[in-house]
Structure 1
Amino acid sequence: MILVTGGSGLVGSFLITELLGRGLSVRALYREKIPVAAHPGRVEWVQADIRDVLAVRAALAGITHVFHCAGLVSYAPQDEEALLRVNVEGTANIVDACLEQPGIRLGFVSSVAALGQVPAAQQQAPGPLLVDEQAKWDLGAEHNAYATSKYLAELEVWRGVAEGLWAVMVNPAVILGPGNWQRSSTRLLRYAYQEHRFYTPSTMNLVDVRDVVAMLAQLTLNTERSGERYVLSAGSLPLRELLTQVAACFGKRPPTVPVPGWAGEVVWRLEHVRAVLTGARPLITKATARAGRRPLEYRADKIRRELGQEFRPLPETIRWCCEQLVANEQLGG
């Protein structure tokens, strides 16, 4: 019996499909409502909050493998406490519950945001910055709240490993998939569909959700590896090129007006003030305004080498996402 947390999210929902395709029994956690078309009759859905210690313990009864996909992604300043409660405390609860049942295997979905900094010497060198699993977290550097929460969540998993837990972690780049049109990375596709004119001169590392769940499942179910983490990234694209490809798939006009760095600095400050005064989520934050100004490449050589698998090409992923969104009639809003 497999437990999936965050079963209604992008990664969780595709992971459930992957596990069912393997003929496995699946129990999945949800917070508010069971997703539409969520494999009726084939998944044991359990309403639970990962911050609830007793609910987590009960959910793990009879479980052999746990895939911890639940988490909060936000760069809004008002969500800093929520990020710690969900991403850190929630992960600690999962780890503690797993430790109470020896033999459980844990697959944890982290993020490239939890990786450490590029060495100072490399920052001075020309060309793109290269980051892999060996990067070291600099406690003295400035980190946004989301990155900090994922790093601290990883520390909870490492603690579990030190206490005897079998666990692996994956660190995906921005995950592309036909998810909720209003949430997560799918909003990038929505932005292109709505024919916005502006883009920032930044670069994004991307990966197909189908590759994420397939590699996570294989690491957790089919290998004996433990105490390891793996970068998952199919490659990088300038944001303008990504949006242009998406717009072409939808038959829309691509963005053409670059936003200079100084303008981004002004906008995130104004958005911060608006968010504090109104409680609304900022459209752009300090972290998102400054992200990707210098090309950064997350190296996924380790997962390629150990599993002998390649990632889907990004143009294929983008085309698939757009086609699925059209077929599922999710466009609009």
Structure 2
Amino acid sequence: MILVTGATGLVGSHLLVKLLQENEVVRAIYREEKSLVAVQNVFKYYNEINLFDKIEWIKADINDVPSLEIAFHNITRVYHCAAFISFDPKDEEQLFKVNIEGTANIVNCCIDFGIDKLCYVSSVAALGEATNSNLIITEETEWNPEKPRNEYAISKYAGEMEVWRGYQEGLKVVIVNPDVIFGYGFPNNGSSSAINAIKKGNPFYTKGKFGIVAVEDLVNCMTKLMNSSISGERYTIVAENITFQEGLNAIADALKLKRPFIYASKGLTSIAWRLDWFLSLLLRKKRILTRLTAKSSHSLAEYDTTKIKTTLGYDFVDMKEYLKKLLINF
């Protein structure tokens, strides 16, 4: 039996569909009953609602070891998709608790229960950083602890360290490192923020680069890696490297809305993150833009996906066509 954590999120819900289509026996973790509605909608999207009833749901929390131990009974493989995503420095405590302590709990249970293999969904934020002389980031790019990092990146890197600890203790593992993930469902989370920004008439763009990938490609790579003999490896999962301008324009064109038309220079984003900091204090709201996220919006670094393409012989979908189809149903 397979256990999926983070099953009520974007990656976890699409992974459930994929696993059940492959006739796997699946147990999935949830925390709140209402979160299951979004998962049902994903199954409806694939016309696979009949498969939803085959999931064995169990109420548990990755930071609650007793409930995890119950969830791990009779499990052979684990997909750890659960994570907390935030770039607000105020969320440091929760980021570390979920992404580090929670992952440590999963790894410990995998070892204690003799799990065959663990797949950990990490992030490109846990990869090394590009330099002025080398803008290409691979799985081997060195992580420099002296470089300033946001709390989310630190938490995902430390989460990976917990997984590698498990590997050293004999647990078979694979790690995937996606960047921005697009997929059906969850219109208020993750990559959907860019779509919502365009719908609200956001006029700003930058020319920095980021990686995008379809959630279907991500879960395909995950299941292929788990069904292989591969262990002790991590893979960057990115379909394309595009500029923020290109990404926002593609979304605007698909929605038949106005493209962003004001270039947000480094100077403008520098002012913007300071203003956002002030408003967050004044209005007690979450940060939208920080100094580090403002800086990254101008980065020209690209992610190299040679390793996953070579290992699996995998071809990613055309993201422009994918976005067109996705936004019809957004």
TM bracket, shorter-chain basis: over 0.9
Identify the residue that residue 174 of structure 2 maps to in structure 1: 168
Identify the residue that residue 309 of structure 1 maps to in structure 2: 314
In the TM superposition, residue 56 of structure 1 has moved relative to its aligned partner by 1.2
Q: Secondary structure at the match of 2:103?
A: helix
Matches within 5 A, 1:262-301: 262-301=267-306
CA distance in 1, matches of 2:139, 2:183: 24
Q: How many residue pairs get matched?
A: 318
In the TM superposition, residue 237 of structure 1 has moved relative to its aligned partner by 1.2
The alignment status of 1:132 with 2:138, answered yes or no, reads: yes
Identify the residue that residue 328 of structure 1 maps to in structure 2: none
In the TM superposition, residue 104 of structure 1 has moved relative to its aligned partner by 2.5
The alignment status of 1:63 with 2:75, answered yes or no, reads: yes
Residues 276-324 of structure 1 deviation map (CA, whole Å, 9 limit, x = unaligned):
3443112212222111413111001011001011111111221122022
Identify the residue that residue 241 of structure 1 maps to in structure 2: 246
The alignment status of 1:216 with 2:222, answered yes or no, reads: yes
Contact 2:206 2:243 in 1 (8 A): no
Q: Secondary structure at the match of 2:73?
A: coil
Contact 1:179 1:186 in 2 (8 A): no
The alignment status of 1:32 with 2:32, answered yes or no, reads: yes
Contact 1:235 1:297 in 2 (8 A): no
Residues 105-124 of structure 1 deviation map (CA, whole Å, 9 limit, x = unaligned):
10110000000123x5xx13
Counterpart selection for 1:52 from 47, 64, 71: 64
Q: Secondary structure at the match of 2:79?
A: strand
Q: Secondary structure at the match of 1:306?
A: helix
CA distance in 2, matches of 1:93, 1:308: 33
CA distance in 1, matches of 2:324, 2:303: 23
- Counterpart code for 1:182: N
Residues 176-205 of structure 1 deviation map (CA, whole Å, 9 limit, x = unaligned):
112311111111112122222122232221
Contact 2:75 2:115 in 1 (8 A): no
Where do 4+ consecutive residues of structure 1 move more than 6 Å?
A: none
Runs of at least 5 residues in structure 1 that lack an aligned partner in the other structure:
326-333
CA distance in 1, matches of 2:193, 2:117: 33
TM-score normalised over the length of structure 1: 0.92
Residues 161-186 of structure 1 deviation map (CA, whole Å, 9 limit, x = unaligned):
00010110000111111231111111
Identify the residue that residue 228 of structure 1 maps to in structure 2: 233
CA distance in 2, matches of 1:70, 1:103: 18
- Counterpart code for 1:273: F
Contact 1:195 1:247 in 2 (8 A): no
Contact 1:244 1:254 in 2 (8 A): yes
Runs of at least 5 residues in structure 2 that lack an aligned partner in the other structure:
44-48
The alignment status of 1:152 with 2:153, answered yes or no, reads: no
Give RMSD over aligned pairs: 1.4
Contact 1:193 1:246 in 2 (8 A): no
In the TM superposition, residue 42 of structure 1 has moved relative to its aligned partner by 1.6
